[in-house]
Amino acid sequence: MKRYPDYKGRMRYIEDTVDGETSISDDDTWAVSKVKLCLIDVVTAATDWTLTLYPDDDFDNSGIAPSIVIAPNANGNQTIHVAIPYESSNQEIHLDFVDNIGAEDAVIYIAGEGM
């Protein structure tokens, strides 16, 4: 079941389980190439993790913009409010979730406004 089923119009949302470098997409709820990210909700048992947002699926800084560390050394579940313009020609979000001391994954929920 989707966590944000009531978003309508320009609001977009996406969710997926993330472990390491992951590109996530959803043709039904995230069919946009430009979006202003508003909320990133991380659900995890990890006690020391880092989440990085990348501009493309090369997962390096050679894309249209540098990577952004959204949450360095975070602990447990986090709701992160942001206002980040994001562009992806293939309508994906490119994330790297790293559990710094273990092997936990995370369920990531992202909400944004289509531009």
Residue-wise pLDDT tens digits, 54-102: 888 887 776 667 889 999 999 999 999 999 999 888 899 999 999 999 9
Per-residue pLDDT tens digits for 5-22: 444 567 888 999 999 999
Residue 17 φ then ψ, to 5°: -85, 130
pLDDT of 43: 97
Residues 106 and 74: beta-carbon distance below 8 Å? no
Residues 87 and 84: their CA atoms lie apart, in Å, by 10
Question: Which domains are delineated in the chain?
Answer: 11-114 (2.60.120)
Radius of gyration of the chain from its Cα atoms, rounded to whole angstroms: 13
Q: What is the pTM of this model?
A: 0.86
Number of alpha carbons in the 13 Å side-chain half-sphere of residue 68: 13
User: What is the spatial distance between Cα 31 and Cα 114, in angstroms, rounded to a whole number?
Assistant: 9
